């Protein structure tokens, strides 16, 4: 009897200790900190780590899809009417983007590399072949007219050439030509006078099997927050296209990797050389991709807002003070002087003027928003879609009769959707990390649970010990009556 109660009392003490231990572990967050410390140590760009391998050669298939806008009323546009377009696509390419010429520097705190991108057409994921014809704005002609409008002799020659050759404001070319380049007769003719001009034009001319220059990344060895952050691009640590230092900053990663331990209230910065600028994404929602929980980040409308809504963006008005409105970016200086304007597809979250300016625009969040779904603990991308529209700025150009009646419009040419979903092998690996982290994080709660169960058993035993047998017997009839 004495031995039995001694046993019961130690059980009570033990359950109390378990409760105290469990609760103090929960409060001290030792276990989550332990997991974070392990992750911080693993997610570094160092030869041999999984993070380095995934950065060097992304395992998940990346697809680049193009949706063109086919112009249906070219003659009416020349007469000053609103352009009408039909979206045609997708034309899908598999994108390979390994890091090459990888070179560690500064004791492994930095790594230099070029990001070579190769595009392979996927006929079975496309609407038609690359030989499909698209009628769109004649960008070389627009560029040349704008560039030489104040040069009387050349301007006359250009106008005469365009009249005689039948070239105009619009051109009909194949998908392959528009993307990867074609020899333009006007540019070729001009080359006689301006040998420095390239006579080939394409929206992604020279982008296949090539790179956009050397990057130097931070490896994250010093601080996990710096993982894969762009330190410099082509030897420069900032840009020079924009008119404020803030807008010229190169912020964050290249958008293909993110640091681990991402919280809901932080901003994910990234630099995109296609967009010629840095931007950020903020937390929007919880998501689940292939069974793995993650956070959805997306650039808020503020990022592309006009300078009255977001004064930080004043520096994106070029030339200084010449602001176009929300949702569009004049990237002319970053695209060899071509009158190119970047926006979200269908001017999603852009000024209503742009949407109304072209018949056929139908912006919606689902298809046109840029999203990045990350696994917050490891920073691994579960799913992402970068969406961007390339437009031409079409306006009346004095000295060219051809454009005399044209209304000023930001004219959509094509939009792209560059997307990726985590591959099954990586998802499986990540899944086991998620499970392990869950188990470890729940150890204190398991202790508390055990403490509660033992405490319950202890109390039960205590009650049974103190309640005399007779009371139990007396109560019996009460229950039945
Ligand atoms: C990584 O290590 C492997 C084998 O040790 C070596 O062949 C390779 O060159 C290293 N890579 C870099 C970028 O240093
Ligand atoms: C498309 O074709 C490629 C081979 O060219 C194949 O690997 C891929 O699985 C196909 N995709 C679909 C959706 O059929
Ligand atoms: C685009 O429009 C042109 C001119 O109307 C037409 O010839 C062409 O077939 C259209 N392209 C597609 C892919 O429908
Ligand atoms: C890109 O380059 C690769 C290799 O040089 C080639 O196989 C592929 O067809 C090219 N893609 C395009 C769209 O030209
Ligand atoms: C770059 O980051 C700084 C804060 O670190 C911010 O003030 C600036 O606006 C950012 N620039 C761009 C272009 O995102
Ligand atoms: C875009 O920027 C270029 C270069 O600064 C400038 O010449 C052009 O007029 C700008 N376009 C618009 C529509 O403001
Ligand atoms: C900036 O955008 C806001 C909201 O879309 C609009 O009300 C305002 O007129 C715009 N300002 C300029 C200068 O375009």
- DSSP per residue over 427-466, as a string? HHHHHHHHHHHHHHHHHHHHHHHHHHHHHHHHHHHHHHHH
Read off φ and ψ for residue 128, nearest 5 degrees. -160, -175
Six-digit token pair at 452?
A: 């509660």
Distance 46 CA to ligand 1 centre (A): 10
Read off φ and ψ for residue 181, nearest 5 degrees. 120, 145
Pocket test for ligand 5, best of 250, 251, 253, 307 (most atoms within 8 A of CB): 251
> Pocket around ligand 5: residues whose beta carbon is below 6 Å from it?
246-247, 249, 251, 277-279, 312
Q: Both 469 and 342 in a single domain?
A: no
Contact 231, 237 (CB under 8 A): yes
Evaluate: CB of 94 within 6 angstroms of ligand 2.
no
Separation of first and last alpha carbons in the chain: 35
Q: Both 100 and 183 in a single domain?
A: yes
Please give the full DSSP string across 260-322, using - where no structure is assigned.
SS--TTSEEEEEETTTTEEEEEEEEEEEEETTEEEEEEE--GGGG--TTT-GGGGGGSSSTT-
Q: Which helix (H) or strand (E) holds 89?
A: strand 85-96
Evaluate: CB of 435 within 6 angstroms of ligand 2.
no
Give the separation between CA 44 and CA 50, rounded to whole angstroms: 9
Nearest CA to ligand 5 atom 7: 246
Q: Both 27 and 60 in a single domain?
A: no
Pocket test for ligand 5, best of 226, 237, 278, 300 (most atoms within 8 A of CB): 278
Six-digit token pair at 178?
A: 């528009």
Average pLDDT per run of 10 along the chain, which is 481 residues long? 73 86 84 88 92 95 98 94 97 97 94 97 98 97 91 88 90 97 93 88 96 96 95 96 96 96 96 95 97 97 94 93 93 92 97 96 96 96 97 91 91 98 95 88 86 87 68 48 43
Q: Both 379 and 403 in a single domain?
A: yes
Read off φ and ψ for residue 286, nearest 5 degrees. -90, 140
Contact 94, 63 (CB under 8 A): yes
Atom in ligand 3 nearest the alpha carbon of residue 132: 13
Give the separation between CA 311 and CA 302, rounded to whole angstroms: 10
Evaluate: CB of 125 within 6 angstroms of ligand 2.
yes
Atom in ligand 6 nearest the alpha carbon of residue 330: 1
Evaluate: CB of 313 within 6 angstroms of ligand 7.
no
Q: Considering every ligand atom, which ligand is closest to the CA of 355?
A: 7
C-alpha distances (whole Å) from 421 to each of 57, 241, 263 are 15, 33, 21
Q: Both 415 and 272 in a single domain?
A: yes
Evaluate: CB of 211 within 6 angstroms of ligand 2.
no
Give the separation between CA 244 and CA 310, rounded to whole angstroms: 14
Distance 103 CA to ligand 1 centre (A): 10
Please give the full DSSP string across 184-216, using - where no structure is assigned.
-HHHHHHTTT-TTS-SEE-TTTT-TTB-S-EEE
Q: Which helix (H) or strand (E) holds 112?
A: strand 110-115
Pocket test for ligand 4, best of 94, 95, 120 (most atoms within 8 A of CB): 120
Distance 306 CA to ligand 7 centre (A): 6
Q: Both 420 and 449 in a single domain?
A: no
- What pLDDT is attached to residue 106? 92
Task: Give just the sign of the alpha carbon dihedral 214, 219, 220, 222.
Answer: negative
Contact 310, 290 (CB under 8 A): no
The number of folded domains in the chain is 2
Residue in the structure block whose two tokens are 């007219």: 145
Nearest Cα residue to 61 out of 89, 92, 100: 92
Half-sphere exposure of 231 (CA within 13 A, CB side): 15
Six-digit token pair at 225?
A: 């927050």
Q: Both 28 and 127 in a single domain?
A: no
Distance 173 CA to ligand 3 centre (A): 10
Q: Both 51 and 97 in a single domain?
A: yes
- What pLDDT is attached to residue 3? 60
Distance 143 CA to ligand 6 centre (A): 11
Pocket test for ligand 1, best of 45, 46, 47, 110 (most atoms within 8 A of CB): 47
Contact 421, 377 (CB under 8 A): no
Evaluate: CB of 467 within 6 angstroms of ligand 4.
no
Q: Considering every ligand atom, which ligand is closest to the CA of 124?
A: 2
Give the separation between CA 316 and CA 330, rounded to whole angstroms: 8
- What pLDDT is attached to residue 478? 47
DSSP state of 163: H
Q: Both 218 and 307 in a single domain?
A: yes
Give the separation between CA 302 and CA 435, rounded to whole angstroms: 37
Evaluate: CB of 121 within 6 angstroms of ligand 4.
yes
Contact 63, 90 (CB under 8 A): no
Q: Both 253 and 351 in a single domain?
A: yes
Q: What is the pTM of this model?
A: 0.91
Strand partners, 238: 249
Nearest Cα residue to 325 out of 278, 357, 297: 357
Strand partners, 267: 282
- What pLDDT is attached to residue 468? 55
Pocket test for ligand 5, best of 246, 277, 300, 331 (most atoms within 8 A of CB): 246
Domain membership of residue 190 as a residue range: 43-434
Q: Both 280 and 140 in a single domain?
A: yes
Distance 133 CA to ligand 2 centre (A): 24
Strand partners, 371: 385
Read off φ and ψ for residue 281, nearest 5 degrees. -120, 150
Distance 247 CA to ligand 5 centre (A): 7
DSSP state of 81: P
Q: Both 449 and 428 in a single domain?
A: no
Half-sphere exposure of 95 (CA within 13 A, CB side): 24
| CA angle 232–235–236, rounded 5-degree value | 60
């Amino acid at each position: 009897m004495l031995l039995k109660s001694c046993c019961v009392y130690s059980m009570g003490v033990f359950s109390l200790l378990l409760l105290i231990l469990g609760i103090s572990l929960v409060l001290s967050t030792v276990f989550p900190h332990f997991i974070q410390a392990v992750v911080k140590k693993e997610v570094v760009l160092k030869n041999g780590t999984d993070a380095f391998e995934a950065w060097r050669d992304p395992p998940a298939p990346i697809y680049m899809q193009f949706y063109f806008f086919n112009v249906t009323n070219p003659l009416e546009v020349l007469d000053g009417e609103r352009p009408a377009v039909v979206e045609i696509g997708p034309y899908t390419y598999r994108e390979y983007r390994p890091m090459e010429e990888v070179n560690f520097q500064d004791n492994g705190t930095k790594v230099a590399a070029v990001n070579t991108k190769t595009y392979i057409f996927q006929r079975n994921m496309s609407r038609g072949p690359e030989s499909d014809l698209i009628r769109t704005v004649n960008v070389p002609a627009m560029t040349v007219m704008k560039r030489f409008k104040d040069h009387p002799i050349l301007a006359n020659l250009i106008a005469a050439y365009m009249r005689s050759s039948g070239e105009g404001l619009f051109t009909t070319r194949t998908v392959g030509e528009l993307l990867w380049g074609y020899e333009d007769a006007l540019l070729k003719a001009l080359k006689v006078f301006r040998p420095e001009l390239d006579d080939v034009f394409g929206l992604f001319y020279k982008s296949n099997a090539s790179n956009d220059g050397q990057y130097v990344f931070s490896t994250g060895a010093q601080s996990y927050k710096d993982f894969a952050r762009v330190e410099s691009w082509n030897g420069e640590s900032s840009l020079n296209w924009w008119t404020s230092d803030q807008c010229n900053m190169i912020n964050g990663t290249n958008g293909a990797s993110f640091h681990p331990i991402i919280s809901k209230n932080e901003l994910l910065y990234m630099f995109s050389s296609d967009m010629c600028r840095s931007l950020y994404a903020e937390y929007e929602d919880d998501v689940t991709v292939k069974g793995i929980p993650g956070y959805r980040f997306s650039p808020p409308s503020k990022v592309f807002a006009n300078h009255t809504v977001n004064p930080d963006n004043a520096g994106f008005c070029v030339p200084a003070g010449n602001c176009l409105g929300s949702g569009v970016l004049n990237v002319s200086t970053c695209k060899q002087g071509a009158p190119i304007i970047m926006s979200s597809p269908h001017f999603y979250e852009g000024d209503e003027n742009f949407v109304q300016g072209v018949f056929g625009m139908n912006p919606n969040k689902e298809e046109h928003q840029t999203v990045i779904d990350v696994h917050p603990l490891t920073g691994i991308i579960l799913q992402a879609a970068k969406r961007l529209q390339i437009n031409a700025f079409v306006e009346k150009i004095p000295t060219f009769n051809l454009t005399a009646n044209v209304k000023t419009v930001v004219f959509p040419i094509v939009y792209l959707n560059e997307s990726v979903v985590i591959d099954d092998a990586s998802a499986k690996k990540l899944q086991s990390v998620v499970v392990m982290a869950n188990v470890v994080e729940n150890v204190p709660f398991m202790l508390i649970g055990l403490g509660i169960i033992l405490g319950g058993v202890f109390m039960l035993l205590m009650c049974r010990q103190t309640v005399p047998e007779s009371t139990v017997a007396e109560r019996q009839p009460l229950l039945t009556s």
